[in-house]
Amino acid sequence: MTDRVGFIGLGIMGRGMTRNLLNAGHAVTVWNRTAARMEEFVAAGATAAASPAALAAVCEVVILCVSDTPDVEQVLLGEQGVIHGIRPGSLVIDMSTISPQATRDLAARLAAQGVAMLDAPVSGGSEGAARGTLSIMVGGSEADFARALPLFQAMGKTITRVGEQGAGQLVKLVNQILVVVNMLAVSEALLFAQAGGLDLPKTIQAVAGGAAGSWMLSNRGTQAIVRDFRPGFTIDLQQKDVRLVLEAADQMGLPLLATGMVYQLYRSLQQQGLGHEGNHALIKALEHLALRQVGAAPDA
Ligand code: NAP
């Protein structure tokens, strides 16, 4: 019998992921803190639960994709949390990006109740979640990974078991170093192109297919030059991940110069009230230093 699936957290990412589970034919029960966000999924065939505990009581696999470490702890262990409804033999899959150490602690807490856990953070942005093309980095046992694989295949394209519990989150932090330092390079390069009087779309077109090409350049760089700073991933959530990277590096005694710089630049943008904008608004911090602006809005 196939597992009944519960999905908690219908945010930017969770919405697309849940939609793809439904499209693949899975029976899905949903719970979201802001209840109105469940309505469109009930209309699409999902069942709404009254709480995380109530959801866990009717599902063998519970997936969550919420914001930060305390939010995962709240959803799993809080008053109405998953732990109060879930039965032994069930599987929790955390697809949020949170602390690797907290992940190992939560896994131990669930194991004491006979419940298995995978950490399975994702990359690929809101586009990847909507299209079912996410990269999924999984930590946990081989057997639990095999059990979850059909669900991962409904949501993602590159699905890799990278090690035991917590390893998925550590690989996600590797991913985040690459994302933010790349966005810093994209920002600096576009500012340089603007100052040099270049045609920005043509410049991106010329370099995107070569050695300097990247997802951030093609997707977020292209948005930045038309000053579209709507979030695929907000600065506030990005900064949460940069903080997780720096905390882990601190525990390892590792200096991370470029990531540390990005952390300070995002902090300055948060202080300007821009935390709700997309992570590619990093370019605004450099614009501020250079007293120049990149590109123009389409209707400007
Ligand atoms: P989002 O749009 O802000 O959604 C967050 C979701 O978590 C919402 O459903 C929210 O409920 C719920 N939530 C937050 N705190 C909660 C709490 N204490 N209790 C219960 N529910 C809570 O964020 P997102 O962009 O989907 O990101 C979700 C996770 O995916 C994060 O860990 C993020 O780092 C990761 N991620 C995001 C992206 C991206 O490009 N967006 C890419 C890769 C990974 P409400 O609806 O009630 O607010």
Q: Residue 197 is part of a domain; what is its CATH number?
A: 1.10.1040.10
Query: 58 is written with which tokens?
Result: 């009717």
Q: Which of the listed residues 134, 164, 194 is the one where a domain comes to its end? A: 164
Within a domain: 101? yes
> How many whole angstroms from 4 Cα to the centroid of ligand 1?
22
Q: Are residues 135 and 198 in the same domain?
A: no
Which pLDDT score is estimated for 299?
53
Within a domain: 297? no
Q: CA-CA distance, 53 to 282, in Å (whole number)? A: 39
Which pLDDT score is estimated for 122?
97
Shortest-distance atom of ligand 1 to CA 68: 32
Is 34's C-beta closer than 6 angstroms to any atom of ligand 1?
Answer: yes
Q: Are residues 159 and 195 in the same domain?
A: no
| Residue length of the chain | 300
Within a domain: 111? yes
Question: Could you confirm whether 172 is annotated as catalytic?
Answer: yes
**Considering its fold, how many domains does the chain have in total?**
2
Within a domain: 146? yes
> How many whole angstroms from 268 Cα to the centroid of ligand 1?
23
Q: Are residues 183 and 279 in the same domain?
A: yes
Q: Are residues 221 and 183 in the same domain?
A: yes
Within a domain: 299? no
Q: Are residues 148 and 177 in the same domain?
A: no
Q: Which of the listed residues 120, 148, 164 is the one where a domain comes to its end? A: 164
Q: Are residues 261 and 203 in the same domain?
A: yes
Q: Are residues 145 and 182 in the same domain?
A: no
Q: Are residues 134 and 182 in the same domain?
A: no
Q: Are residues 60 and 136 in the same domain?
A: yes
Which pLDDT score is estimated for 3?
83
Q: Look up the domain containing 66 and give its range.
A: 5-164
Q: Are residues 17 and 142 in the same domain?
A: yes
Q: CA-CA distance, 236 to 267, in Å (whole number)? A: 9
Q: Are residues 29 and 145 in the same domain?
A: yes
Is 232's C-beta closer than 6 angstroms to any atom of ligand 1?
Answer: yes
Is 278's C-beta closer than 6 angstroms to any atom of ligand 1?
Answer: no
Which pLDDT score is estimated for 300?
45
Within a domain: 300? no
Q: Are residues 10 and 158 in the same domain?
A: yes
pTM above 0.85, yes or no: yes
Which pLDDT score is estimated for 15?
98
Is 66's C-beta closer than 6 angstroms to any atom of ligand 1?
Answer: yes
Which pLDDT score is estimated for 192?
98
Query: 83 is written with which tokens?
Result: 């732990």
Consecutive 10-residue averages of pLDDT for the chain (300 residues): 90 97 97 98 97 98 97 98 98 97 97 98 94 98 98 98 98 98 98 97 98 96 97 95 97 97 98 98 97 76
Q: For the domain that residue 53 is a member of, what is the CATH number? A: 3.40.50.720
